[in-house]
Chains A and B, each alone.
Chain A
Amino acid sequence: MIFEMFRPVHRWIWCDAERRAHKLLRFGETETDGGRDLVRASEMTPDSLLRRLYLEHAIDEHRHGVMFRRRGNEILRSLAPGSNSSFQADWLAPSGHGVDDLRVDEEPDEALLAFLHLSEKTAADRFSVYRDVLENDIPTRAIFEEILRDEVFHMNYTLTQLARVSPQRHGRTLWYERLRRIWKSYLRLAAALGAVIGGFILIVQYFVILPPFAWLAKRVERRESRGWTAISPQSNRSLQRQY
C-alpha cells in the first residue's frame, strides 16, 4: 500500500535508461542469491515434497536472475558510451526480496514457508508497481509480467504447504512472521544507526587523536628501506603470543 503511494517516484526512478539497467542487473543478483537460499532450503528439509517445491522455486529465481541480467545488459549496450547516471535510488526501489534476510539453516519449514509467503507477496506488490510504471519499455515490462505470474505460484504453494505442515497453527505462524519481519527491520535500522554513530565517533577520534601518531608513522615509514626485510631468528617466537 505504502509502496503504491510512491508510484510517481518509481516512474521517475525507472525513466532513466542507465539507472533502469543497473537496477535490473542488481535485481538479477538478488534473484540469483534468493535462488541459492532456496536451493539450500531444499537441501535441508526432511520433507520430500517441500524439497521438490523449493527446488522448483529456486529454478524460477535463477531464471528470473538471468532474465533481469540479460535485459539489463541489453539496455546498457544500447546506451551511448560514457553515459553515467549518478543516482541509483536503490533504497527507494528495492528488488523483489528487498532487505529480506533469510537464514535458511536456522529456520524450520513452517517458519521458512511463512517467511517465503510474505516475502513473495511483498515482491509481487513491488513488481506490479514497476511493471505499471514501465509502459514505455515493453521488453522490461514483459519480464515483470512473466515474473509476476511465477510469484502467484510461489505465493500459493507457500501458503498451501504452510497449511499442510502446520494445519493447526498456520494463521498464527503467518502473524508471528509478520511481527518478526518488523522486529528484524527494527534491528537492521538500529544496527545501521549504531554503525553510523560509531563511525562518526571514530572519525572524530581519527582527526583529534591520531595526527601526532600519523606524523610519527610517516617519519618511520620514510626511514624504511624498500625491498627485502630480513626475518630475524627471534621472530620465530612463541606460538602463545598473538603479537
Chain B
Amino acid sequence: MKILGISAHYHDSAAALVIDGMPVCAVQEERLSRRKGDASFPLSAIEWCLDHTHLEPEAIDAVVYYERPMLKFERILTCALRAFPHSWRAFPKAMQNSLGEKVWVRGIISSHLGVPRSRILFTEHHQSHAAAAFLTAPTRRAAILTTDGVGEWATLAVGHGERKPDGNTEITLLREIRFPHSLGMLYSTFTAYLGFAVNEDEYKVMGLAGYGRPTMVDQVRRVIRRTPDGAFTLDLDYFEFHTTTERSYSDRFVELFGPPRNSYEPIDLETAEGQRFADCAASVQRVLEDTLVGIARALCQETGLTDLCLGGGVALNGVANARILAESGFERVFVPSAPGDAGCALGAALYADRIHFGNPDRDVPDHPFWGPPADGVELARLAREDGHRFEELDDSTLIEQTAADLAAGRVVGWMDGALELGPRALGHRSILAAPHAVAMRDRLNRDIKFREEFRPFAPVVPIESADRYFELPPGGARLARFMSGIFPVRKEWRQRLAAVTHVDGTARVQVLEHAMAPRLHTLLEAYGRRSGIPVLLNTSFNLAGEPIVNRVVEGYTTFRRSGIDVLVAGQTRLTKRASPLANAKEEVTCSRSVDRSSAR
C-alpha cells in the first residue's frame, strides 16, 4: 500500500511517502524551493517523492493531509466572533487567507495530483504529531504528549499508544487544551516581544535564556496560570494573537514586562536593557519547563508507562525536554527528528497506514535521513568548471584528510548521503569544526553563519565517548540522538570544548551511533585520534535566513559565499583558492562588448 502524507499551508510544508508500512522518503518543501519555512503546497516535495520511487500519482492508494481544514476554519471563525468587535481588522485577512486556498485542500490535492477525491484523507493535527512521535520511536507502549502553537483547536494533547504483538496499533488521545490557551503561542509571543521572528526564531529565545536569570517568573505566571485540573490558561488581557494579526502581545503585556525589543537592534548583554531581555527569555523558559514537567509528571502517574513520546513544535525545546526526562518519572523520552509540522507529513501517512487501514505494525528505521542524496560527482564537475582545486579520494584517505583539516582549525562543509528530515543537521548536511576554542564559535557566527554572537553551537560525539564529556542522565543518549536534549558539559572538559559549551555550561549534544551515520562516526574517531577528543562542532549547513542545503550545488554556493574552508561531498574534497572570484570579472571584461544603445 502506497500512502502519501502532506503537511502544508501554515509553516514548513513537507511530503512523505510510506510504502507497505515503511517510510521510503520525506522532504520539506523549503529544502527544494530554497525559501526558508516554505508553507506553500509542497508540489516539489511530492514530485521528488514520486520521482524517487518511480511512481505515478495514480499508483498512490491514499493521500493524507495532516489536519482537518474545515475544523481549523471553524476555529478561526469562532475566534473572530468571540473577539467581536475587536477582530474587525483581522477578520478580512483571516477570511481571505482561509477562503483563498486553505479550506479547499481536497480540491487542490486532487487537481495537482489527479487522484480521486475519495482517496484523500484527513487526520487531526495532533493525531499527526502523535503518530510522528510514537510510530517512529523504537518503543512498543508509550505515553504521548504533543504541544505546539495550535492545530485545529488543540494546542496540547496527551494520550498513549501501543503497538500490539498481533500487529495492531492503537493511538488514543485522552484530553487536550484548546486555543487560545497555548504554550506554543505563549513562547511565540515572547519570541515576538524579544524582536525575533515568530515560528522561526523560538530557539533564539532558548539560547538567549542561558544568558539571563529567571527574575520575571512571577510576571510570567500572571500571564499563564495553572488550572486546578493540572492544565493551564492564558490571561488573554495580556495577548492579542487571538484578535489581531498585527501584534501578539497587548499594551498590558508591555506594562508588565517593559518596552519590547526593536528587531533591528542587536542584543547587547553588557547593557541593562540587553540583560532585561535575557532575563525575560530565562523567565518564560523556566515557566514553560515547569508547566511541561508538571503535565508530563501527571501523565506518567496516570499511565504508569516508562516511555514518553513528545511531538509538536514545542518538543524542539531541548532544555525543557531534558527536564522532562530528569523530573517527570519517565525513563525514556523520544522526540522525532522533525517534531514540528514538517514531521506531520510522515505522521499522517503512518497514522493512516496503521490506524485507518489497519495494516500490521512495522519497525520504522531509527534515523532522520529520508531526503535527496548528495552527489560528490556533481561537486567535482562544478569545481572543474570553475577552476577550483579538488580531489576525489577513497573513503579512508578522505576521512583522514578531513580530520587533519579539522585539527588544523579549518571549517568543513560536510555533505553525505540522504538529507535529514527536520530542522537539525544530524550529520549529512553539516558544517563541522574543531570544538575547542571560543574563537571558533565567534568565527562561525561572524564569518560563516552571519548570526548573533549569543547563539551557541552544538557538538556531536560518538555514543561510546559521550559519557566522558557530557553529563547524560539515564535515557539522555536516546534524547540526544536527534539533538533533542540539552545536557551539561562535564566541568573538566568545558574549557577544551569552549566552542560548543553554552554560557550556562550546557550543550545541545548529538550522540551518534555508528549505524546512523557511519562516515561521520568514523570521522569523529579519526579526529579523536589526532586531537585526543572525539567531539566536533556540528551546525547546520546553511547561512542565516536560508534553509539547510540539499543538493551539492547549494552546498557549493554556500561554500563560496562564506568562510567555509573545505567542502566534502561524497568522495570529493574541495578547498578554497586565494581569490576565486577574480575570474568572473575578468571573464566578463574579456567577453565581447555590446553596443548598449542598440540593445536598448
Contact = CB atoms under 8 A, between A and B. Distances in A.
A48 B121 contact: no
Nearest to A156: B588
A73 interface: yes
Given A25-B264, A76-B262, A242-B71, A59 B176 contact: no
A213 B385 CA distance: 66
B114 interface: no
Contacts of A73: 264-266
B229 A227 contact: yes
A40 interface: yes
A118 to B, nearest CB: 10
Interface stretch (B77-85, B187-195, B528-536, B568-576): B77-85
B398 interface: no
Nearest to B228: A227
B352 interface: yes
Interface stretch (A7-15, A89-97, A160-168, A182-190): A160-168
Interface in A161-203: 161-164, 170-171, 174, 195, 198-200, 202-203
A43 B122 CA distance: 36
B88 to A, nearest CB: 6
In the complex, which range does the number of interface residues on chain B fall in? 35 or more
A241 B581 contact: no
A227 B74 CA distance: 20
Contacts, number: 182
A22 B583 CA distance: 36
Contacts of B545: 32, 36
Given A227-B228, A231-B176, A243 B68 contact: yes
B176 A51 contact: no
A228 B600 contact: no
A160 B585 CA distance: 12
Interface size bracket, A side: 35 or more
A59 B600 contact: no
A208 to B, nearest CB: 12
A205 to B, nearest CB: 9
Contacts of B88: 203, 206-207
A167 to B, nearest CB: 9
A217 B81 contact: yes
Contacts of B591: 160-161, 164
Contacts of B515: none
A160 B594 contact: yes
> Which residue, A66, A211, A231, has most C-beta atoms of chain B within 10 A?
A231
A161 B588 contact: yes
A214 interface: yes
B584 A198 contact: no
Given A203-B91, A226-B181, A242-B68, A231 B105 contact: no
A194 B93 CA distance: 13
B29 to A, nearest CB: 13
Contact of B227 (A199, A226, A231, A242): A226
A140 interface: no
Interface string B214-232: 0000000000000111111
A221 B153 CA distance: 14
A169 to B, nearest CB: 11
B560 interface: yes
Interface in B558-600: 560-561, 581, 583-585, 587-588, 591-594, 596, 598-600
A219 B345 CA distance: 37
A164 B592 contact: yes
B177 A229 contact: yes
Nearest to B381: A48
Contacts of B598: 171
A171 to B, nearest CB: 5
B106 interface: yes
A199 B92 contact: yes
A49 B587 CA distance: 8
Contacts of A32: 545
B233 interface: yes
B599 A52 contact: no
Contact of A160 (B95, B105, B588): B588
A192 to B, nearest CB: 12
B496 interface: no
Nearest to B552: A43
Nearest to B550: A43
A160 B594 CA distance: 6
A39 interface: yes
Contact of B553 (A43, A59, A159, A231): A43
Given A200-B92, A231-B176, 19 more contacts: A22-B264, A25-B264, A43-B553, A43-B554, A49-B584, A52-B583, A59-B561, A69-B264, A73-B266, A153-B585, A156-B588, A162-B594, A206-B91, A210-B81, A217-B82, A227-B230, A227-B232, A227-B233, A229-B175
29 contacts: A39-B34, A43-B34, A51-B386, A52-B386, A52-B583, A62-B561, A73-B264, A73-B265, A76-B264, A105-B33, A160-B591, A161-B588, A163-B599, A202-B91, A206-B92, A213-B81, A214-B82, A216-B81, A218-B84, A226-B227, A226-B233, A227-B231, A227-B233, A228-B229, A229-B176, A231-B174, A236-B127, A239-B356, A242-B105
Closest 8 A/B residue pairs (Cβ): A214-B84, A227-B227, A217-B81, A227-B231, A239-B121, A202-B92, A199-B92, A52-B584
